[in-house]
């Protein structure tokens, strides 16, 4: 790899606050609501990032990263690698900046995500999951031109996600814990950095599906690990084959612990949110609720980040229809 990467450094609170001003005209300050389940359940609050213009949190990071590019970089265009949500975020921000956008997209991405990226005028290059993961590490791919915007290992991208942490603490100042799904690690690093800077006693938990849980394994082993039993599932926006060493270094100072939930628990969380709060969540967005319901993060108040709602409706109905009520 010929590109010299920027040294990893902490996400400073001032950077998050500046990002908040920078992206205010692009993103939505999403609501934080209580999931009403009764006294026998933890006190769970939902941070509804599924209500962003692209129905996913990735717009925060993408908007900040694209806004911080030089004029010449924007003119050359941007490209990213995505299972769908980061691609939508970068494409949305690029369209606002009048910059061409290419997305190297995992070929098994939900149809709804593919259609929305095309609607945002992104050029799509479908690839296998393995090819996408390799390209993420190498930061290059044949046919992808312009400025590369990494979908998680990018300081400005992560700072954009940190803006969510500011909103969480303003809207739930009594929060005892925050749970975020982990895919590449950018979401939890950004949110965790903001929260730890302002309220270090709030516990920050990451969650992954049992079929793809390298971060939990890395926490157990004390170093970045490859998840040998990786399986693709409907939880396409979280989990992975491995933890990138750079992202492990980013996560370590701001994440208190890692939880793993089953696919069945995730389906039940999707159904519960639909029934109790009329919220449509994709698999990755339901992981934090599933984790909160295990009780392992305490009785709350727990903020569960509903990171996205981009799922084909037919698939959503199939998933919540087969889970136990």
Domains and CATH numbers, the chain: 13-56+156-322 (3.40.50.1100), 59-148 (3.40.50.1100)
pLDDT at residue 18 greater than cutoff 90: yes
pLDDT at 1: 39
pLDDT at residue 154 greater than cutoff 80: yes
pTM: 0.92
Q: What is the mean pLDDT of the chain?
A: 93
> What is the rounded average pLDDT of the residues 82-87?
85
> What is the rounded average pLDDT of the residues 290-305?
96
pLDDT at 264: 95
pLDDT at residue 323 greater than cutoff 70: no
pLDDT tens track for 233-276: 999 889 988 999 999 999 999 999 999 999 999 999 999 999 99
Give the contacts of 109 (CB within 8 A, at least 6 positions apart). Answer: 82, 83, 84, 236
* Residue 260 C-beta-side C-alpha neighbours within 13 Å: 14
Give the contacts of 105 (CB within 8 A, at least 6 positions apart). Answer: 81, 82, 83, 84, 87, 113, 114, 117, 124, 125, 126, 127, 132
pLDDT tens track for 170-196: 999 999 999 999 999 999 999 999 999
> What is the rounded average pLDDT of the residues 162-176?
98
Distance CA 231, CA 237 (A): 13
Contact 274, 320 (CB under 8 A): yes
Distance CA 267, CA 41 (A): 18
> What is the rounded average pLDDT of the residues 71-76?
89
pLDDT at 120: 92
pLDDT band per the 50, 70, 90 thresholds, residue 6? confident
């Amino acid at each position: 790899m010929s590109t010299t990467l920027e040294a990893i450094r902490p996400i400073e609170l001032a950077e998050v606050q500046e990002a908040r001003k920078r992206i205010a005209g692009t993103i939505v300050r999403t609501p934080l609501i209580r999931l009403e389940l009764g006294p026998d359940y933890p006190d769970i609050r939902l941070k509804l990032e599924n209500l962003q213009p692209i129905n996913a949190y990735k717009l925060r990071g993408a908007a900040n990263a694209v806004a911080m590019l030089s004029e010449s970089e924007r003119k050359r265009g941007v490209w990213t690698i995505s299972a769908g949500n980061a691609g939508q975020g970068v494409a949305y921000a690029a369209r606002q900046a009048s910059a061409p956008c290419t997305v190297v997209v995992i070929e098994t991405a939900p149809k709804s995500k593919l259609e929305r990226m095309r609607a945002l005028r992104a050029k799509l290059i479908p690839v296998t999951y393995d090819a996408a993961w390799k390209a993420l590490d190498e930061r290059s791919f044949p046919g992808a031109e312009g400025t590369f915007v990494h979908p998680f290992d990018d300081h400005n991208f992560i700072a954009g996600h940190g803006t969510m942490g500011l909103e969480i603490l303003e809207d739930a100042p009594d929060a005892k814990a925050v749970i975020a799904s982990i895919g590449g690690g950018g979401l939890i690093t950004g949110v965790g950095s903001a929260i730890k800077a302002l309220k270090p006693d709030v516990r920050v938990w990451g969650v992954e599906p049992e079929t793809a849980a390298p971060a939990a394994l890395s926490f157990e082993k004390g170093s970045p690990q490859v998840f040998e039993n990786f399986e693709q599932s409907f939880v396409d926006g979280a989990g992975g084959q491995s933890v990138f060493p750079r992202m492990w270094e980013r996560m370590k100072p701001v994440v208190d612990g890692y939880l793993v939930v089953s696919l069945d628990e995730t389906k039940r969380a999707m159904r519960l949110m639909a029934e109790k709060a009329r919220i449509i969540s994709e698999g990755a967005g339901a992981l934090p609720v599933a984790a909160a319901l295990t009780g392992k993060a305490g009785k709350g108040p727990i903020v569960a980040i509903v990171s996205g709602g981009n799922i084909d409706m037919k698939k959503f109905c199939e998933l919540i229809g087969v889970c136990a009520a």
